[in-house]
Structure 1
Amino acid sequence: MSGFGRYLAAALAARFASEGMGMAVVLLALERTGDAAFGAFVLTAWLAPHVLAAPLAGAAAARARSPRLFHVGCLAGFTAAVAALALLLGRAPAPAVFAVAALGGACGPMVTGGLSSLVAGLWPPGPGRDRAYGWDASTYNAAGVTAPAAISLVAATGSAASAMALPAAAGALATVLAATLPYGTPGAGRPPGGPRVGVGGGLAALWRVRELRAITSATTLAFVGIGSLTTTSVLFAADLGNPGAGGVLMTAFAVGALGGSLTLGRITAVAPGRLACGALAGTGLALAGAAFAPSVAWAAVAFAVAGVCDGPLLTATLRIRSDHAPDGVRTQVFTLGAGLKLTAASAGAALVGFAADAPPWTLLLGIAGLQAAAALLYAALVRGPVPPEAVTAPSAASATAPTGPPTPGGP
């Protein structure tokens, strides 16, 4: 369809910037201050606003008079923050650096879920749109493979400051490409003849629409484990006698995920819910097998299989959101889902820090168990009774939701 090739290029560039940002910041902090922990604090400031900004960004995108200007503005803000951090980190007072990171992070939901919400406007419903979401999911996986490798290579051969220029340049490219995309009708967040959708509309849809509640709950639980996988892989590799092989295991997982999204993720004959449930169960089974691997080589094979199983999960998730999100809150549903998953991943990373003294194989089994539990949770929620207030289109509850912060008790 018109503009989809440019969309994929913009999405890949934006997600390259997002994936490369974390490693580049830590390396730059180490180069300029000698303290990698400072880089971790900057990264925390970058990630922290995501879950809070997600509903606000989604509501603002739906209500924007010019969707093009809003999306391009968010990408430009994201890029400007990356460039500013490249200049300020290690040179400006820490509060100023943290403030810039927080502002850039507030634009983050539009780089992930916000961009993915545009696919529905580029393809009509049907197998073509399902395949388009498979390609969109592959941009995340491709960025996850290429960005850390490119950042590490440039930092090793040049400097961390040069490496920081890569995500800034990628963000700038994404901004330019996004300006050329076709966008939906201005004010799409306002149902015909009704009031504008408030920031609580997306949260209400995530809870009331059974399929959205099931996939959001399941992927949020699963990402508590995925967020701890990087640290666990380092600990597990060290336990196998090769402390530096943690990166090998995560690369195997990322490459497997890319392959899975490009193959299994493009199977449109399988219902997205069944695909998501199978992906979660398969990932858990493969990681459980990795916990008993006798060597790094065997562990890498198991991690690659886990990645292949995990690859279709994002495609299935995007398809479910697209199929079941009410039109007026579609962008909110995408940004909220992405924000919740990222927050869950951050929580998982923190939890494994507290449990770092446990045998690494038990941590890996715990991550596998969370994937299996997520599959069971999805199956239970999607087959449960439909709430009497369930919505399949923008309702009065979502349309007139208050414009203040979302109420507690979300998915």
Structure 2
Amino acid sequence: MPRQHVASYLAAATPPRLAVGGITVAIPVLAVEQTGDVALGGLLAAATLAPSIVAAPFVGVLLDRSRRPGALIAIAALVMGVSYGVAAFLGPIPAWAVAIVLLAGGASGPFVMGGLSSFVTERIPDERRAYAIDALAYNLGSVVGPAVVAAAAALGSARLATLLMAASALLGAAGTLPLGLQPLGAPARGSMLHTMARGIRHIALHRPLAIVTASGTLSQFGAGGLAIAAVALSLQRTGDADQGAVVVTAFAIGGLIGALWNSSRPARLRPEATMGWGFAATGVLTVLAALDLGLWWTVAAIGASGLFTAASAAAMLLIRKQQSPPALRSQVFTVGAGLRAAAAAAGAAVAGLASGLGAGPLLVLIGLSWIASGAMLLAYPRDAQPIDR
């Protein structure tokens, strides 16, 4: 497999995912900087995420039925870039107008997240390597995006940070066109709503895919609560919330190290085994992190827990591809990504409501959700065969 194929895919997938990872950090900081309104920052950040959950099935159907899916993904990244660029001028531009453009950018998100993932094997034929590279693009985005925003906000301003996220999305638009993505197969027949219903029915009723989707969604419910638990832990043990960022950063760095390792040496176990054992290992280490042995014990255990997430995510993406017919594949990917995003948001909300339990029990519950998501793979049918051809 030529290295330029890997490089060209990373050049297309990483910048827009970096933008998505960073914009949810940049927008709240920008709102406080320009208006002093923390609540407004939260609402605008939600506007960048919420539309993706609703848009995901529509995006999947559009990509499955399009003769030029690459052009649709490029246009979506362009819309994201323009929306973030406009949002950077919050203050001179009214908040309601910024909210509208951020909603448009949020609705474009599924194109560059799950949508682009559904085409990675068209560019990188080795399936295991392809999804390991795709997981690396996700991890680079989730780690580098917030880091760039933090540095730009500290050295310049939140407006500069937001403009950098806009530029990153535009880079993704430019990088997508050279991929030359082609339709995955003959589009499903019938109306758009009929195709959407067929895809959702396949996700819900095809047992291998239903198990993997449920497991992946539950794992993100736990992951979504980690930041809340980390802040609660920091307050409880040091009296200062700032150390919570160290815990979350350790998890992100562990995930990035795992992604780099997995992209060079993809796991060779059956994908459902890799996914199940990886989720379970993350959960066990999260439970161990709850032991009151000092903050650095917690940081080390959470960092180690992140090492397994990339291999698990790559295995999950591979199963999605193998267990979906080409005519429905993009819809399977975008709906799966949308469910995980919704679960992460719900996990954060529930963790906030349950913070009164104490940081230790909260971490244990988060770890148990990871372990449960791994255990769900025990129900994966051993005789399942790929149906993607």
Q: Which residue is equivalent to 1:209?
A: 206
Q: How does 1:39-50 map to 2 (within 5 A)?
A: 39-50=41-52
Q: How does 1:375-394 map to 2 (within 5 A)?
A: 375-380=374-379, 382-383=380-381, 392=387
Does the 8 Å contact 1:237/1:246 carry over to 2? yes
Once residues 158 and 16 of structure 1 are traced to their aligned partners in structure 2, the CA distance between those partners, rounded to angstroms, is: 19
Q: Which residue is equivalent to 1:279?
A: 278
Does the 8 Å contact 2:28/2:38 carry over to 1? yes
Deviates more, 1:140-149 or 1:279-288: 140-149
Residue type at the aligned position of 1:119:
V
Once residues 147 and 45 of structure 1 are traced to their aligned partners in structure 2, the CA distance between those partners, rounded to angstroms, is: 18
Identity %: 33
Q: Which residue is equivalent to 1:23?
A: 25
Residue type at the aligned position of 1:218:
S
Once residues 83 and 54 of structure 2 are traced to their aligned partners in structure 1, the CA distance between those partners, rounded to angstroms, is: 18
Does the 8 Å contact 1:249/1:300 carry over to 2? yes
Query: Per-residue displacement from partner, 1:34-64 (whole Å, max 9, x unpaired)?
Result: 1222111111122111121000001011112
Pick one of 75, 78, 83 that aligns with 2:77: 75
Once residues 142 and 388 of structure 2 are traced to their aligned partners in structure 1, the CA distance between those partners, rounded to angstroms, is: 34
Q: What is the root-mean-square deviation of aligned Cα atoms in Å?
A: 2.1
Q: How does 1:145-294 map to 2 (within 5 A)?
A: 145-185=143-183, 188=185, 190=187, 194-195=189-190, 198-241=195-238, 242-264=240-262, 266-294=265-293
Give the secondary structure class of the aligned counterpart of 1:184: coil
Query: Per-residue displacement from partner, 1:155-206 (whole Å, max 9, x unpaired)?
Result: 1111111111111110111100111112113x83515xx5466122321221
Once residues 325 and 191 of structure 2 are traced to their aligned partners in structure 1, the CA distance between those partners, rounded to angstroms, is: 13
Q: How many residues align?
A: 383
Once residues 106 and 220 of structure 1 are traced to their aligned partners in structure 2, the CA distance between those partners, rounded to angstroms, is: 20
Quick one: structure 1 residues 173 and 385, their matched pair in 2 at CA, closer, same or farther if it must change by over 3 Å?
A: closer
Q: 1:353: Cα distance to partner?
A: 1.8
Q: 1:391: Cα distance to partner?
A: 10
Query: Per-residue displacement from partner, 1:54-112 (whole Å, max 9, x unpaired)?
Result: 0000101111232222111111111111111112x234343322222211110111121
Residue type at the aligned position of 1:339:
G
Q: Which residue is equivalent to 2:320?
A: 321
TM score, norm. by length of structure 1: 0.88
Does the 8 Å contact 2:208/2:381 carry over to 1? no
Residue type at the aligned position of 2:7:
G
Whose helix proportion is higher, 1 or 2? 2
Once residues 367 and 393 of structure 1 are traced to their aligned partners in structure 2, the CA distance between those partners, rounded to angstroms, is: 34
Quick one: structure 1 residues 385 and 9, their matched pair in 2 at CA, closer, same or farther if it must change by over 3 Å?
A: closer
Q: 1:244: Cα distance to partner?
A: 1.1
Does the 8 Å contact 1:256/1:311 carry over to 2? no
Unaligned residue ranges in structure 2 (runs of 5+): none
Q: How does 1:369-408 map to 2 (within 5 A)?
A: 369-380=368-379, 382-383=380-381, 392=387
Once residues 148 and 335 of structure 1 are traced to their aligned partners in structure 2, the CA distance between those partners, rounded to angstroms, is: 23
Structure 1 residue ranges (4+ consecutive) displaced by more than 4 angstroms after TM superposition: 194-197
Quick one: structure 1 residues 136 and 322, their matched pair in 2 at CA, closer, same or farther if it must change by over 3 Å?
A: same
TM score, norm. by length of structure 2: 0.93
Q: 1:293: Cα distance to partner?
A: 3.6
Q: Which residue is equivalent to 2:99?
A: 98
Residue type at the aligned position of 2:108:
C
Q: 1:129: Cα distance to partner?
A: 2.1
